[in-house]
Amino acid sequence: MVFRGYMDESYDKERSVCTISCLIGNGAEWLRLVRDWRDWIDLTNRTLADRGLSPISRYHASDCNAKEGEFKEWPAKLQIDFVCGLFDVLKKRHFHTVSISLDWDTFRQAFPRRKYSVRMEEKLAYCYLMIPFLNQIGKEVEKIDANKRVTLFHDHTDFNGAISDMFWAFKGEPSYKYGPTFVNIAPLEWRDCVALQPADMFAFEAMKEIKREEGSPRLSFQAMSLLGLPWKHVHAGKENISNSQAKVDAIVDRDA
- Digit-coded pLDDT (tens) for 190-243: 999 999 999 999 999 999 888 876 667 888 888 888 788 889 888 876 666 666
Residue 152 has pLDDT above 80, yes or no: yes
6: which DSSP letter? E
Residue 43 has pLDDT above 60, yes or no: yes
Q: Where are the beta strands (DSSP E) in 12-58?
A: 17-25
User: Which pLDDT band, with edges at 50, 70 and 90, does 96 fall under?
Assistant: very high
* Rounded-to-10 torsion of CA 117, 122, 128, 132: 170
Q: Find the mean pLDDT for residues 176-181.
A: 92
Instruction: Indicate the CATH number for domain 2-27+95-255.
Output: 3.30.420
Sheet holding 231-236, edge to edge: 182-188, 149-155, 2-11, 17-25, 96-103, 231-236
Which of 143, 142, 162, 121 has its CA nearest to residue 16? 121
> Which of 62-66, 76-80, 172-176 has the weakest average pLDDT?
172-176
In the prediction, which pLDDT does 114 show? 57
Residue 256 has pLDDT above 60, yes or no: no
In the prediction, which pLDDT does 250 show? 63
Measure the CA–CA gap between 136 and 113, rounded to whole angstroms.
27
**Domain coordinates in residue numbering, the chain:** 2-27+95-255
| Average pLDDT over all residues of the chain | 87
* Rounded-to-10 torsion of CA 5, 126, 10, 25: 10
| Residue with more model confidence, 178 or 12 | 178
Give residue 165's Cα distance to chain centre: 19
